[in-house]
Amino acid sequence: MKWLEKKSIPFEDLWEKAVDFHGHEGPYLVAGLRMGVYILQALSSRGYSDLKLIVESPPFTPYTCVLDGLQVSTGCTFGKGNIVLVPSISKDIRVLAICGGKRVFLTLPSDIQEKFREWTDETSVEEAAQRAMELGEGIFSLEAC
């Protein structure tokens, strides 16, 4: 994952890599990418081994698609053990990122997820992904740790 060494990689290039990794476009993949990019910047992390992610989510799709976006954007992987899924019955997806002594806590709230469902039902999962891209960092909420 050499592309993470460049802090200024265009989001479109990262998106292409995420779609290749995940297998298709989707709004939850967009959310994971946006969250991961924000986490790296907020914590001044280079990703990979200096970062740990704890993700609370329902343990099934489409919710878990966020995990693929996080893995591609941060370099955290289940194989390295620096991303952990905590199964939840809540529909909100929460991500706690830890780097050194710094932490950031993000949520993909249910109202945004409802938009994802509406867009997918109205059009397609690919179009829903494009609409999710337009939300930018507004796709998630920053919470107090």
Band (pLDDT 50/70/90 cuts) for residue 3 is very low
Give the separation between CA 29 and CA 18, rounded to whole angstroms. Answer: 8
The predicted pLDDT at position 49 comes to 81
What's the pLDDT score for residue 1? 45
Question: Which position has the token pair 């990979």?
Answer: 48
- Report whether pLDDT(2) > 80: no
Residues belonging to the chain: 145
Q: What does DSSP assign to residue 143? A: E
| Residue pLDDT, tens place only, 33-55 | 999 999 999 999 988 789 999 99
Q: Is residue 8 scored above 70 in pLDDT?
A: no
79 has a pLDDT exceeding 80: yes
pLDDT at position 9, please? 76
Token pair 């946006």 is found at 34
Contact 85, 67 (CB under 8 A): yes
User: Which pLDDT does position 104 carry in this prediction?
Assistant: 97
Domains and CATH numbers, the chain: 10-143 (3.30.1330.130)
Please give the pLDDT value at position 6: 45
How confident is the model at residue 11, as a pLDDT?
A: 85
The predicted-structure confidence for 89-139, as pLDDT tens digits, reads as follows 988 899 999 998 999 999 999 999 999 999 999 999 999 999 999 998 899
Three-state SS at 85 = strand
Rounded-to-integer distance, Cα 28 and Cα 19, Å: 11
